[in-house]
Amino acid sequence: MDVRSQVSMVFHLDKCIGCHTCSVACKNIWTDRKGADYMWWNNVETKPGTGYPTKWEDQSKYNGGWHSNGNGRLRIKSIGKARIVPNIFHNPHMPSMDDYYEPWTYDYQNLFNAPEGSDQPTAEPISMIDGKKIDVQSGPNWDDDLGGSPLYAANDPNLEGLTEQQKLQLSSVERLVFFYLPRICNHCLNPCCVASCPSGALYKRGEDGIVLVDQKKCRAWRSCVSACPYKKVYFNWFTGKSEKCILCYPRLETGQAPACFHSCVGRIRYLGVLLYDADRIEDVAKLPDDELVEGHRSMILDPHDPEVIANAKKCGISDGVIEAAQNSPVYRFVMEWKIALPPHIEYRTLPMLFYVPPMSPVQASKEDDVIHHSSDNLFHDIDSSRVPMQFLANLFGAGHEGVVRYALAKQKAVRWHRRAETVGDIDRETADRMLREADCTREEAEEIYKLTALCTYEDRFVIPPMHREQAIEMMKEPHEHREETGFGFVGGPQRGM
């Protein structure tokens, strides 16, 4: 048993209000630079919708992730070892800027410098790449809230396999229903970006599992961009290097939550340590689609089990990290309650960011332009939820409903339980039956309720002790390196020499 620790995440979609505060916090800290201007290490997508880059989930177009051919071989869908030699000059599956958008600003100087004329001067949009005037065709969150059109939703790859009935469910109340899907790098256990990098520039940090790009080793072969099925590695068009979410490791090392977590208005984000068995990564990644979610869970170890603790210590994991794993909110959502699920696990990268699927109860229906409220049937039938089960299953269950149904049923039971406790218009027996059917107890329901609704900063973020920052301070004097680009860099990042 090779026990390793991984800083893991849970996003509670039922609480996301789609405000993009996370994206803005991230952008201001990390990607407000030339070449990184189009990057959104954190972005929030409207679902159903096409996402960013456009239709990133359509692997028939992008060929991201791993392919398991069933007889025990796992290969990179885009370009693995054998195919890198003829394809290194031109990457056949690489998305281009057209799949994202051309970053632009406005010609503000014209407001001051325009010659006197009969009209007010305007600030026209100009490209941030070549400075020319552009006709803006797409931009960040272009399809936010579906942009008032059903087109983006209709092109969502997750709609595959939905029955006509389920598609009607989506727009049963006047307009199409939608929810939000905030996305950052999943810091996978079997990262395709790392495996595909010809230079070995991408790596996973052993101590906390954060996946990073070594900027000094990246040679712009671009394999990672194609290989990542979540399209969370971005190519910096100015410096010629790949960049990605760093899970704000400088913040984590000083005991702070990552910026997107810290700034989250809906408090949907949870961060904590999971211990897992690294010996099983390859076997689990090869499992058939319907066994992937369970297999992924089975790799994650119980931090209270004395045998696991003994093995973890043998593998060099410190007491502080083990303690953090025992208090991890992520462990409770993923393993104890089983209501948080990995996104698109069929890509086989074993993502370590889990989502609590959103509830979307029908509280009203429309007949002949008259809205009927149905509050007496509150949260009753998860199958008639506005977001169809199959859609959520395509997102979080590799197309299989079982795990999603379990997570939604338990969330529904918790609501009935709390309704019985606080409002009292539901009798206790019905609530208890709901809990039993959802494999839940009153105690567990209370715990879920507390960590969902009453959670404090310390409840949501249990950051393990990471002593890296202190370690470097023992060798270098940080004040001498102020306003530099970082330890060990002679010049600032630029294109070429």
Helix (H) or strand (E) segment spanning residue 274: strand 269-277
Asked whether position 348 contacts other proteins by CB under 8 A, the answer is no
Asked whether position 244 contacts other proteins by CB under 8 A, the answer is no
Asked whether position 90 contacts other proteins by CB under 8 A, the answer is yes
Q: How does 426-443 read in b/e, with b if 16+ C-beta sit within 10 Å?
A: beeeebbebbeebebeee
Asked whether position 19 contacts other proteins by CB under 8 A, the answer is no
Asked whether position 125 contacts other proteins by CB under 8 A, the answer is no
Q: Strands 3-12, 353-356: parallel, antiparallel or unpaired by DSSP?
A: parallel
CA–CA distance, 375 with 379 (Å, rounded to integer): 9
CA atoms 15, 19, 23, 25: torsion sign? negative
Q: Minimum Å distance from CB 114 to other proteins?
A: 23
Nearest CB to other proteins, comparing residues 147 and 240: 240
Decide: residue 203, CB within 10 A, 0-12 exposed, 13-18 middle, 19+ buried. Answer: middle
Judge whether 81 and 185 are in contact, CB under 8 Å: no
Binding mask 252-291 for other proteins (x = CB under 8 A): -----------------------------x----------
Judge whether 140 and 101 are in contact, CB under 8 Å: yes
Asked whether position 173 contacts other proteins by CB under 8 A, the answer is no
Asked whether position 68 contacts other proteins by CB under 8 A, the answer is no
Asked whether position 81 contacts other proteins by CB under 8 A, the answer is yes
Q: Minimum Å distance from CB 168 to other proteins?
A: 39
**Cβ atoms within 10 A of the Cβ of 123, count?**
13
Judge whether 345 and 287 are in contact, CB under 8 Å: no
Residues numbered 304 to 323 that lie near other proteins (CB under 8 A) are: 316
Asked whether position 471 contacts other proteins by CB under 8 A, the answer is yes
State both tokens at 7.
């800083």
Q: Minimum Å distance from CB 497 to other proteins?
A: 5
Q: Minimum Å distance from CB 262 to other proteins?
A: 25
What is the CA 145 to chain-centroid distance, rounded?
18
Q: Exactly one of 24, 94, 114, 426 binds other proteins (CB under 8 A); which one?
A: 94
Asked whether position 198 contacts other proteins by CB under 8 A, the answer is yes
CA–CA distance, 349 with 342 (Å, rounded to integer): 10
Contacting range for other proteins; rule: CB under 8 A; set: 14-22, 122-130, 171-179, 387-395: 122-130
User: Concatenated DSSP letters for 37-60?
Assistant: TT--SSEEEEESS-TTTTTTT-HH
CA–CA distance, 204 with 313 (Å, rounded to integer): 20
Nearest CB to other proteins, comparing residues 19 and 129: 129
Q: Minimum Å distance from CB 372 to other proteins?
A: 51
> What DSSP state is assigned to residue 145?
G
Which distant-in-sequence residues (6+ apart) come within 8 Å of 292 by Cβ? Answer: 284, 345, 346, 348, 398
Asked whether position 215 contacts other proteins by CB under 8 A, the answer is yes
Asked whether position 207 contacts other proteins by CB under 8 A, the answer is yes
Asked whether position 73 contacts other proteins by CB under 8 A, the answer is no
Contacting range for other proteins; rule: CB under 8 A; set: 10-18, 81-89, 299-307, 336-344: 81-89
Q: Exactly one of 83, 133, 304, 495 binds other proteins (CB under 8 A); which one?
A: 495
Q: Exactly one of 204, 231, 348, 415 binds other proteins (CB under 8 A); which one?
A: 204
Binding mask 383-402 for other proteins (x = CB under 8 A): --------------------
State both tokens at 358.
């959103």
Q: Minimum Å distance from CB 442 to other proteins?
A: 43
Judge whether 224 and 200 are in contact, CB under 8 Å: no
Nearest CB to other proteins, comparing residues 295 and 493: 493
CA–CA distance, 271 with 325 (Å, rounded to integer): 11
Q: Exactly one of 133, 219, 366, 372 binds other proteins (CB under 8 A); which one?
A: 219
Q: Exactly one of 65, 191, 295, 358 binds other proteins (CB under 8 A); which one?
A: 191
Q: Minimum Å distance from CB 130 to other proteins?
A: 4
Q: Exactly one of 138, 155, 172, 199 binds other proteins (CB under 8 A); which one?
A: 199
Secondary structure string (H, E, C) spanning 65-119: CEEECCCCCEEECCCCHHHHHHHCCCCCCCCCHHHCCCCEEECCHHHHHCCCCCC
Contacting range for other proteins; rule: CB under 8 A; set: 6-14, 88-96, 288-296, 298-306: 88-96
Judge whether 337 and 330 are in contact, CB under 8 Å: no
Binding residue count for other proteins, defined by CB under 8 A: 58
Contacting range for other proteins; rule: CB under 8 A; set: 7-15, 199-207, 359-367, 410-418: 199-207
**Cβ atoms within 10 A of the Cβ of 107, count?**
17
365: three-class secondary structure by DSSP? strand
Asked whether position 93 contacts other proteins by CB under 8 A, the answer is no
Judge whether 256 and 447 are in contact, CB under 8 Å: no
Asked whether position 496 contacts other proteins by CB under 8 A, the answer is yes
Binding mask 408-427 for other proteins (x = CB under 8 A): --------------------
- Binding positions for other proteins, rule: CB under 8 A: 81, 84, 88-91, 94-98, 102, 127, 129-132, 190-191, 194-195, 197-200, 202-207, 215-222, 225, 235, 237-241, 281, 316, 468, 471, 489-491, 493-497
